[in-house]
């Protein structure tokens, strides 16, 4: 079908939807470093992990060998409600840029959670239900993950307890209300509900909270309640596995029209979207079957890949989680308060960290005013109001397309449009009012934060 | 293809998308009553209308004869960015209701404007651009129409001036911000920018504004600026014409799988969504080719069809617009302040009014707490967070499906899901907090408001 006209949106038929998640670790020669027990310094066993996480998810977390993992039928049925997501040819953006490049974006905002996070949320809720659990706990920052998990839990009739970073809880009351609509309970973090929350509040009274704090609280809430487990929306290998549905669909849609991308771009906070999008393409690259450029785009205010160190570090502020080897800015690192949107985690998925370290993937960082300028430009021609996170990828896609304009190259660029910006209009407003600035951490600040990583690696 | 399994979502291929709007007036034996000049009491001429509206749109407004009107290529190209919209089989809702009914919804919320309003906004902006205008003015209440028009104007490089009902402007700052992202200027109404606004402010200092006021201001702003025209997002025949793309796609998708609906349900404020959804089906009914039940659902707090009178009335508060014959509650009617969401216009499209008056369509009204209960129920199983407006249709679709459960009938129900509720979470919050009540206007209130309709009909 190579010569067929490429439609604006490539939809797959239900029958063309992927039935497997793709596990990129199976094709990696050097596997990502294992999670370590912070007490013993030894790799976490399945038994240890199962006290915090659902049993089947632990198995997925530790599975470095199976390339394809069947998606259970009930998850496939849920996916059918909002997937396949469209792969859109950005004809209007191309025209505006007057670029010979061909730009495609995989749009994951077409579900009420408003982002790609639902792909893993429904999987994690499913396995929790299978295990006979009563409920699950989690943290949320910008709110995309909490929203997605609330939806998923509502679908399976699971209790859902969300610790929401306090500053987001207060600034985004509507995010909280969506979660409530889906029946979740939402607690601003740090809270007095957990020992670790009380300790943090004692040490930093009046703190606005952080993702690291909220993780600590959610983990404690899970392990101290019978019938509960903790779930996480990014960073972990299992999450990248579930998110591979994005990449599998993208590849199937491109293959359907005989299109081979040159550059694949994704925003990167913990790595869930980027990891999912690139997985099957990276597999081809690892197996020597094809070559692609992969670009991770991170905020200049939280540049874990581009300015962090590849070491073992704590995943949370309260240090109750296992240690992960990752590009990190140090678990105490906090992006400047004026940083809008998500992508504010101090570390990066161990899988992506390893791929980046081996030179299989590039990374770049962008300033947030440049990001919002790209967001607005994109919205005006392509219609979709993008999330700030997604707009990091838009920025670099536009920049790459403009390079093609200079060189005359007809490159094919694919980027992940992870979600919509309906709950981020406060940030858009700041941008419009000229009140948004770009704080970039100094080398000293990063070094100071990195000095506190544990001495293990 | 009758026996093929019905997918969760029926998408049409780009090549299957309708290339024509369907003009239901061509099949109506009794044509809708013409707009009248309030000064002379005579039908408005094309010349008179062209001082307010774009020339080509006036032609469409007066066209009672052409059944199919070709959609210009540039509009088709824009439609391709977000259309065809999915027709979704509500398998999960059916399962939850344990109904033998088959429920489908046509989901129009998959674009950044978040609603079906974009279908007409892009058409109206296109004709304004073709006419060489500099810009257009409009009003918006809940904000869906203003958002859609801002997007459309941004696409065609037109100036867009929106008068937003003051109470919405203040309660929905993020709606305003979306419009700003698309480059529109947004003025809270009533304002001191227009003579009619100043007059209203003088008479009612501290007023929260109303759709009727905002229409008057937008019309004045258009006729007093060279190169500007006024556009309206509902009520008019041209709007129903553009919105027929919803019904045309729905019919094409159902025909593709050999499905014949028994009941077609839509929410009704001014009538744009309902009119668009039912048009081609109503055409079959008018031509005696098929029979369907059509149900218009309106809020109990603004019941123009179910409790209004079918007479000529003013379209706006300032009485600067032509008179329209319609089911109306009187141009001074205001729904109770606790009424959430849109569907608050005092009158109903002349086309739908005529069809209803002839008994070709049913109408019912629902209380808002029942509407939000249906919205939440739907969200939890189907995933989509519906707009309050759309949830009126959900309420009645659920009620009809539950009747089928009692009788055992396997009816096929189709309803219009016009948009998403991301900007209505304040109302959801009130519902969750038990602070939402149901005010239903008394007969006396309606009679008092109706007493002021002009003595013409």
Q: Is the pLDDT of residue A3 over 60?
A: no
- Residue of B88, B182, B426 with shortest CB distance to A379: B182
Q: Which long-range contacts (CB under 8 A, 24 or more apart) does B439-445 make?
A: B439/B301, B439/B336, B439/B338, B439/B339, B440/B300, B440/B301, B440/B367, B441/B301, B441/B303, B441/B307, B441/B329, B441/B333, B441/B335, B441/B336
Task: Tell me the C-alpha distance between A387 and A407, whole Å.
Answer: 30
Both B307 and B397 in a single domain? yes
Would you call A379 and B183 a contact, using CB atoms and an 8 Å cutoff? no
Task: Tell me the C-alpha distance between B322 and B379, whole Å.
Answer: 40
Residue ending a domain, choose from A230, A247, A268: A230
Both A276 and A205 in a single domain? no
Both B107 and B142 in a single domain? no
Residues of A with Cβ-Cβ distance to B429 under 8 angstroms:
173, 177, 180
Segments in A205-322 forming alpha helices (H): 211-223, 237-256, 272-286, 304-307
pLDDT at residue B17, as a whole number: 95
Both B254 and B373 in a single domain? yes
Residues of A with Cβ-Cβ distance to B391 under 8 angstroms:
none
Q: Of B340, B272, B346, which is closest to residue B308 (Cα–Cα)?
A: B346
Residues of A with Cβ-Cβ distance to B178 under 8 angstroms:
385, 425, 428
- Residue of B8, B110, B112 with shortest CB distance to A14: B8
pLDDT digits (tens, 9 = 90+) for A247-294: 999 999 999 999 999 999 999 999 999 999 999 999 999 999 999 999
- Residue B38 covered by a domain: no
The angle, 0 to 180 degrees and rounded to 10, between the axes of the packed helices B118-130 and B55-62 is: 120
Min distance A231 CA to chain B CA atoms (Å): 20
- Residue B161 covered by a domain: yes
Torsion angles phi and psi, residue A104, rounded to 5: -125, 145
- Cβ neighbours of residue B290 under 8 Å, at least 6 residues apart? B260, B281, B284
Q: Which residue of B has its CA nearest to A379?
A: B182
CB atoms within 10 A of CB B451: 9
Q: What is the mean pLDDT of residues A322-335?
A: 92
The angle subtended at Cα B212 by Cα B208 and Cα B217, nearest 5°, is 85
Min distance A397 CA to chain B CA atoms (Å): 19
Would you call B428 and A181 a contact, using CB atoms and an 8 Å cutoff? yes
Hey, of A12, A74, A112, which one would you mutate to test binding to chain B, going by the most B CBs within 10 A of its CB?
A112
Residues of A with Cβ-Cβ distance to B183 under 8 angstroms:
380
Task: Tell me the C-alpha distance between A425 and A430, whole Å.
Answer: 8
pLDDT digits (tens, 9 = 90+) for A14-37: 899 999 999 999 999 999 999 999
Residues of B with Cβ-Cβ distance to A423 under 8 angstroms:
422
Does ipTM top 0.95? no
DSSP-based helix, strand, coil % in chain A, nearest 5: 45, 20, 40
Q: Is the pLDDT of residue A338 over 90?
A: no
3-class SS at B347? strand
CB atoms within 10 A of CB B222: 22
- Residue of B114, B180, B383 with shortest CB distance to A151: B383
Both B423 and B446 in a single domain? yes
Burial A20-45 (b: 16+ CB within 10 A, else e): ebbbbbbbbeeebbbbbebeeeeebe
Residue ending a domain, choose from A230, A259, A287: A230
Task: Tell me the C-alpha distance between A5 and A256, whole Å.
Answer: 12
pLDDT digits (tens, 9 = 90+) for A131-186: 999 999 999 988 999 999 999 999 999 999 999 999 889 888 899 999 999 999 99
Q: Of B57, B346, B108, which is closest to residue B213 (Cα–Cα)?
A: B346
- Residue of B182, B384, B432 with shortest CB distance to A380: B182
Would you call A174 and B384 a contact, using CB atoms and an 8 Å cutoff? no
- Residue B358 covered by a domain: yes
Task: Tell me the C-alpha distance between B242 and B82, whole Å.
Answer: 15
> Could you tell me if residue A294 is left (phi over 0), alpha (psi between -120 and 50 degrees) or otherwise beta?
beta
Both A300 and A424 in a single domain? yes
Task: Tell me the C-alpha distance between A59 and B428, whole Å.
Answer: 39
Residue ending a domain, choose from A214, A230, A246: A230
Would you call A11 and B11 a contact, using CB atoms and an 8 Å cutoff? yes
End-to-end CA distance of chain B: 50
A161, HSE (Cβ side, Cα atoms, 13 Å): 22
Interface of B with A (CB under 8 A): 7-9, 11, 13-14, 80-82, 88, 92, 110-114, 151, 154-155, 173-174, 177-178, 180-183, 376, 379-385, 420, 422-423, 425-426, 428-429, 432
Torsion angles phi and psi, residue A366, rounded to 5: -130, 150
Min distance B216 CA to chain A CA atoms (Å): 28
DSSP state of B86: P
B42, HSE (Cβ side, Cα atoms, 13 Å): 4
The angle, 0 to 180 degrees and rounded to 10, between the axes of the packed helices A73-82 and A118-130 is: 150
Would you call A428 and B183 a contact, using CB atoms and an 8 Å cutoff? no
Residues of A with Cβ-Cβ distance to B88 under 8 angstroms:
81
Min distance A355 CA to chain B CA atoms (Å): 35
The angle subtended at Cα A402 by Cα A398 and Cα A408, nearest 5°, is 140
Cα-based distances in Å from A446 to A303, A307, A324, A331: 10, 8, 19, 11
What's B247-287 look like in SS3?
Answer: HHHHHHHHHHCCCCCCEEEEECCCCHHHHHHHHHHHHHHHC
DSSP state of A301: T
Would you call A182 and B112 a contact, using CB atoms and an 8 Å cutoff? no
- Residue A30 covered by a domain: no
CB atoms within 10 A of CB B403: 14
CATH of the domain at B226: 3.40.50.1100
Would you call A429 and B182 a contact, using CB atoms and an 8 Å cutoff? no
Q: Which residue of A has its CA nearest to B183?
A: A380
Min distance A246 CA to chain B CA atoms (Å): 18
CB atoms within 10 A of CB B6: 18
Would you call A7 and B80 a contact, using CB atoms and an 8 Å cutoff? yes
Hey, of A1, A73, A81, which one would you mutate to test binding to chain B, going by the most B CBs within 10 A of its CB?
A81
Task: Tell me the C-alpha distance between B196 and B218, whole Å.
Answer: 10
pLDDT averaged per 10 residues, chain B (length 457): 67 92 98 94 96 97 98 94 92 96 96 93 98 97 94 95 92 90 95 95 89 93 97 96 98 96 97 98 98 97 97 89 95 82 91 98 97 96 93 98 98 97 92 92 95 81
Cα-based distances in Å from A53 to A133, A137, A223, A229, A322: 11, 10, 9, 5, 12
Look at the block and give the residue holding tokens 């994690």: A124
- Cβ neighbours of residue B264 under 8 Å, at least 6 residues apart? B277, B278, B281, B292, B293, B294, B295, B413, B414, B415
Would you call A8 and B80 a contact, using CB atoms and an 8 Å cutoff? yes
- Residue A33 covered by a domain: no
Token duo for residue A407 = 């060189």
Would you call B432 and A383 a contact, using CB atoms and an 8 Å cutoff? no
Min distance A426 CA to chain B CA atoms (Å): 7
Count of all residues that appear for chain B in the document: 457
Token duo for residue B361 = 């369509």
Torsion angles phi and psi, residue B371, rounded to 5: -65, -45
Min distance B200 CA to chain A CA atoms (Å): 30
Would you call B379 and A181 a contact, using CB atoms and an 8 Å cutoff? yes
**Residues forming beta bridges with residue B297, ordered by sequence position:** B267, B364
Both B127 and B152 in a single domain? yes
Give chain A's mean pLDDT.
94
Size of interface A-B (CB pairs under 8 A): 119
Hey, of A385, A424, A426, which one would you mutate to test binding to chain B, going by the most B CBs within 10 A of its CB?
A385
Strand ranges (E), A292-427 = 293-299, 309-314, 323-328, 362-366, 412-417
Task: Tell me the C-alpha distance between A163 and B423, whole Å.
Answer: 23
Torsion angles phi and psi, residue A200, rounded to 5: -65, -40
- Residue B394 covered by a domain: yes
C-beta separation of B67 from B27 below 8 A:
yes
C-beta separation of B105 from B410 below 8 A:
no
Both A216 and A354 in a single domain? no
Both A163 and A95 in a single domain? no
- Residue A276 covered by a domain: yes
Would you call B177 and A88 a contact, using CB atoms and an 8 Å cutoff? no
Interface of A with B (CB under 8 A): 7-9, 11, 13-14, 80-82, 88, 92, 110-114, 151, 154-155, 173-174, 177-178, 180-183, 376, 379-385, 420, 422-423, 425-426, 428-429, 432
Residues of B with Cβ-Cβ distance to A182 under 8 angstroms:
379-380
Return the top range by mean pLDDT from A9-13, A395-399, B34-38, B434-438: A395-399
Task: Tell me the C-alpha distance between A234 and A1, whole Å.
Answer: 36
- Residue of A181, A384, A429 with shortest CB distance to B385: A181
Q: Which residue of A has its CA nearest to B386?
A: A112
Q: What is the mean pLDDT of residues A50-54?
A: 96
Preceding peptide of A12 cis, ω within 30°: no
Torsion angles phi and psi, residue B103, rounded to 5: -110, 130
Would you call A383 and B151 a contact, using CB atoms and an 8 Å cutoff? yes
Task: Tell me the C-alpha distance between B264 and B282, whole Å.
Answer: 10
Would you call A425 and B173 a contact, using CB atoms and an 8 Å cutoff? yes
**Residues forming beta bridges with residue A363, ordered by sequence position:** A296
DSSP state of B32: P
pLDDT at residue B355, as a whole number: 98
Residue B322 host element (H or E): none
- Residue B393 covered by a domain: yes
CA dihedral of residues B170, B171, B174, B175 (deg, nearest 10): -90
Both A351 and A265 in a single domain? yes
pLDDT at residue B51, as a whole number: 95
Question: Domain range spanning residue B169?
Answer: 48-69+117-230
Both A272 and A400 in a single domain? yes
Residues of A with Cβ-Cβ distance to B1 under 8 angstroms:
none
pLDDT at residue B89, as a whole number: 95
- Cβ neighbours of residue A379 under 8 Å, at least 6 residues apart? A385, A386, B112, B154, B181, B182
Would you call B110 and A110 a contact, using CB atoms and an 8 Å cutoff? yes
Checking DSSP bridges between strand A228-230 and strand A293-299, what pairing results, if any? unpaired
Q: Is the pLDDT of residue A225 over 60?
A: yes
Both B279 and B428 in a single domain? yes
- Give the total number of structural domains in chain A: 2
pLDDT at residue B141, as a whole number: 87
């Amino acid at each position: 079908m190579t010569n067929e006209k490429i439609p604006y949106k490539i939809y797959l038929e239900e029958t063309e939807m992927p039935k497997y998640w793709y596990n990129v670790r199976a094709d990696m020669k050097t596997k990502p470093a294992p999670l370590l027990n912070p007490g013993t310094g030894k790799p976490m066993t399945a038994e240890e992990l199962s006290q915090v996480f659902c049993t089947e998810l632990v198995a997925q977390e530790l599975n470095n060998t199976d390339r394809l993992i069947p998606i259970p039928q009930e998850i496939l049925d849920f996916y059918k409600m909002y997937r396949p997501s469209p792969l859109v040819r950005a004809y209007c953006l191309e025209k505006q840029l007057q670029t010979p490049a061909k730009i495609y974006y995989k749009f994951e905002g077409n579900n009420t959670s408003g982002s790609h996070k639902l792909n893993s949320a429904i999987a994690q809720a499913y396995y929790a239900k299978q295990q006979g659990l009563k409920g699950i706990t989690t943290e949320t920052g910008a709110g995309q993950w909490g929203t997605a998990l609330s939806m998923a839990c509502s679908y399976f009739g699971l209790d859902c307890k969300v610790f929401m970073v306090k500053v987001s809880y207060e600034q985004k009351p509507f995010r909280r209300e969506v979660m409530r609509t889906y029946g979740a309970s939402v607690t601003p973090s740090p809270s007095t509900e957990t020992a670790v929350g009380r300790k943090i509040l004692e040490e930093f009274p009046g703190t606005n909270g952080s993702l690291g704090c909220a993780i600590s609280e959610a983990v404690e809430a899970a392990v101290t309640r019978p019938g509960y487990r903790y779930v996480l929306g990014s960073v972990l290998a299992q999450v990248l596995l579930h998110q591979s549905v994005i990449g599998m669909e993208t590849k199937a849609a491109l293959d359907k029209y005989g299109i081979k991308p040159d550059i694949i771009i994704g925003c990167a906070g913990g790595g869930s979207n980027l990891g999912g999008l690139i997985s099957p393409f990276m597999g081809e690259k690892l197996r020597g079957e094809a070559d692609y450029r992969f670009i991770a785009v991170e905020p200049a205010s939280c540049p874990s890949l581009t300015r962090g160190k590849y070491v073992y570090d704590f995943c949370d502020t309260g240090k109750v989680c296992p240690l992960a080897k990752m590009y990190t800015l140090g678990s105490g690192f906090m992006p400047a308060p004026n940083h809008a949107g998500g992508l504010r985690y101090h570390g990066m998925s161990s899988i992506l960290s390893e791929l980046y370290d081996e030179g299989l993937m590039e990374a770049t960082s962008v300033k947030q005013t440049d990001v919002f300028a790209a967001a607005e430009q994109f919205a005006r021609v392509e219609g979709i109001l993008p999330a700030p996170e997604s707009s990091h990828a838009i920025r670099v896609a536009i920049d790459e397309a403009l390079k093609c304009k200079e060189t005359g190259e007809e490159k094919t660029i694919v980027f992940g449009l992870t979600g919509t910006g309906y709950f981020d209009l406060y940030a858009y407003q700041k941008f419009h009012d000229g009140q948004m600035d770009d704080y970039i951490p100094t080398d000293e600040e990063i070094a100071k934060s990195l000095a506190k990583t544990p001495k293990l690696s």
